[in-house]
Structure 1
Amino acid sequence: MSSAMRKTTTPRTRQLAAAIALGSCLALAAPGSSAGAAAPADPVPTVFFGDSYTSNFGIAPVNNQDSERGWCFQATENYPAVAARSLQGKGITLDVQSDVSCGGALVHHFWQKQELPFGAGELTEQQDALKQDTQLVLGSLGGNTVGFARILKQCSTKLREPSLLPGDPVNPDSPAAECKTFFESGDGKEWLDYKFEQAEDELDQALQRMSYFSPDAERVLVGYPRLVPQDTTKCLTAAPGQSELPFADISQDALPVLDQAQKRLNDIMKKVAADNGADFVDLYTKTNSNTACDGADRGIGGVLEESKLELLGTQIPWYAHPNEKGRDLQAQHVAATIETVLNR
């Protein structure tokens, strides 16, 4: 490994699924290929990496559900699979060497083993999937390293209940009602600043490792779809057919905290990609009309809205992950970026 790389220092069923999914935790298509550009003649050896937003937690059925990797809750029809199929129709064939995306993955699981909860085993480093002949490496990491699950739990009394969203808030002694103040000053702000610094450093290292193990590969870092709209009053109404609000009991004044944190991560991911000569799919800016609070147009399932995933007879909530509409939006914009990258 290059010396230039920096090192950085219930119900039970709901806990099992959410521990994997969260870990700690239609806009216009992007520009396509230029006129006259030819699609790659040969299949493109491809590796997908990432966390629950790449594996598309909550969408059934699940890949390898009878194996250890079933705990990744990687949907058979996750956005990598949907994007690859749409590209096939344009004459671009992805030879998928591996899709190692796994719910709960932190950035450092790109080069370290990922332990599954409750003694379910461990997974090898995601970088092990990279080959010398890999030509495309794509996926999303960063949300769990920043700790979005812990942020959600810090801002919600309901999510602190033992049967919902396993893990701890950042500071259980600080009331959920004081979430906004907590993250804007003092220990909460200091914690958040540290987590973003950690995510930036580790994403930089991950992208360097991609180049080391697959020197000829195009690298594409995929951002996260937007969760909270600019107009937070939309979040005060339950989606059609739902009884819970999209963000449960998180107060309206705390919702911008979530959005600002997500925007900050998006900006970091975009910067790291640019600094490393990689491409970036800016889903945050492309999904403004498909947040968790956009009713029938939502591309994000509500925090406590039942997903399509059933575990031991229990329907598991989305925990603010892309639903099928959101998955299709991810696939649409990812496919457009892949087409541009491979045709340039």
Structure 2
Amino acid sequence: MTISRSLCAAAAALASLAVLASAPAASSAGEAVPTVFLGDGGVGGYGIAPVDESRLSCVRAAENLPDVIEDQLADQSILLDITADVSCSGAALRHVWEEQDLGGDVAPAPPQKRALTKETRLVVAGLGAHTVELGRILKQCSARLRGAAGSLLPGEAVDTRSPAAECAAYFTKGAGADWLTKRFEQAEKDLEKLFSEIGSESPSAEVVLVGYPRLIPADVKRCRAALPDGGGRPLADIPESAWPFLDEKVQARLNSSMAQRARTHGAHFVDLYAATGGATTCDGPDRAIGGLLEPSGVTLLHQKLPWFLHPNETGRDANGDAVAQAIAAMYGRGPA
């Protein structure tokens, strides 16, 4: 879910599943639905090889979530005309209406809403983790991420004076709790603006908001086992005391906020958090999330990029299938 400005600059240098509102009429046979995808690295496929060379600055996979969704829907005779996929690793909600700084001499990514038109009939969006600054939260909980291992993550730990081992307590009271509250307040405001911007640019479009897959299982003991390929523990050096906090107070809270805002605006919400509890980063060979700091499939500047709890290929495919099923239900179709 997270990636830094410095990583983008380096890349450029190398060249319930749905909450239903009023369902749209099913598209006519052979008629493609003009569709735009907005999002961050979860939509764009950060860490999945090969990388789309025309989108190196966003570290976007050549086959990402929109590709899976398009293929799954085509099997159900629902055709998408993807007029734009503007997902970009590191994008926050505000980057729908503001430029995204990609660092260095790289031209900023334009506001994602520029891809929307009056002819757009379907908008699929997946953003929010960068608005609550998940990367900084992870750094607050990991000594390794505060060092060289976290150099590709944006920002610093929220309070470097507070030890990583005490991060759960830090966010529970005082300045840490206040900071976290403000991040979620900002996320709610930005989610409201997201729907407003989409409604203004594409008033006839159905909107699908995609939540994030679950990172940490309810049974946190599963996170004690090492990754099957010997790449360390799934959550690196994040202390066990922080695991329930990250799941319940960060990820579940964000998921709930996204679902509520979607309901309020008559949009469709794909609850990946609820659907992916058996394929978290702690589920060994069945994991659909790359372990924290586990080498990903992408090599840039002769180095493997690390996962920062992004969906791997298994997760991309499963998440894409879930979103496709939700969209198919909108059009009155069953599963493939």
* 1:1-344 to 2 correspondences below 5 Å: 16-17=6-7, 40-41=28-29, 42-63=31-52, 65=53, 67=54, 69-165=55-151, 166=153, 167-260=155-248, 261-343=250-332
Shift of 1:16: 3.4
Q: What letter corresponds to residue 333 of structure 1 in structure 2?
A: A
Q: Retained in 2: the 8 A contact 1:14–1:164?
A: no
1:55-84: per-residue Cα shift (whole Å, max 9, x none)? 010001122x2x5x3111111111111110
Q: Retained in 1: the 8 A contact 2:19–2:263?
A: no
Q: What letter corresponds to residue 171 of structure 2 in structure 1?
A: F
Q: CA RMSD in A?
A: 2.2
Residues of 2 paired with 1:30 and 1:146: CA distance?
23
Q: What letter corresponds to residue 204 of structure 1 in structure 2?
A: E
Using the size of structure 2 for normalisation, the TM-score is 0.90
Change (3 A) 1:305 1:139: same
Shift of 1:158: 1.0
Matched position secondary structure for 1:112: coil
1:126-160: per-residue Cα shift (whole Å, max 9, x none)? 00000111000002111001011101100011111
Matched residue pairs, number?
319
Q: Retained in 2: the 8 A contact 1:39–1:343?
A: no
Matched position secondary structure for 2:196: helix
Stretches of structure 2 lacking an aligned partner (at least 5 in a row): none
Shift of 1:89: 1.4
Shift of 1:243: 3.1
Residues of 2 paired with 1:182 and 1:230: CA distance?
22
Shift of 1:342: 2.8
Residues of 1 paired with 2:283 and 2:46: CA distance?
20
Q: Retained in 1: the 8 A contact 2:9–2:106?
A: no
Residues of 1 paired with 2:253 and 2:116: CA distance?
29
- For 1:6, the equivalent position in structure 2 comes to none
Shift of 1:31: 10
Change (3 A) 1:264 1:337: same
Q: What letter corresponds to residue 241 of structure 1 in structure 2?
A: D
Q: Retained in 2: the 8 A contact 1:39–1:91?
A: no
Shift of 1:242: 2.3
Residues of 2 paired with 1:95 and 1:321: CA distance?
26
Q: Retained in 2: the 8 A contact 1:14–1:316?
A: no
Identity of aligned residues (%): 45
Residues of 2 paired with 1:206 and 1:30: CA distance?
18
Q: What letter corresponds to residue 342 of structure 1 in structure 2?
A: Y
Q: More deviation in 277-286 or 228-237?
A: 228-237
Stretches of structure 1 lacking an aligned partner (at least 5 in a row): 1-12, 22-27
Shift of 1:14: 8.8
- For 1:4, the equivalent position in structure 2 comes to none
Residues of 1 paired with 2:9 and 2:69: CA distance?
27
Q: Retained in 2: the 8 A contact 1:40–1:343?
A: no
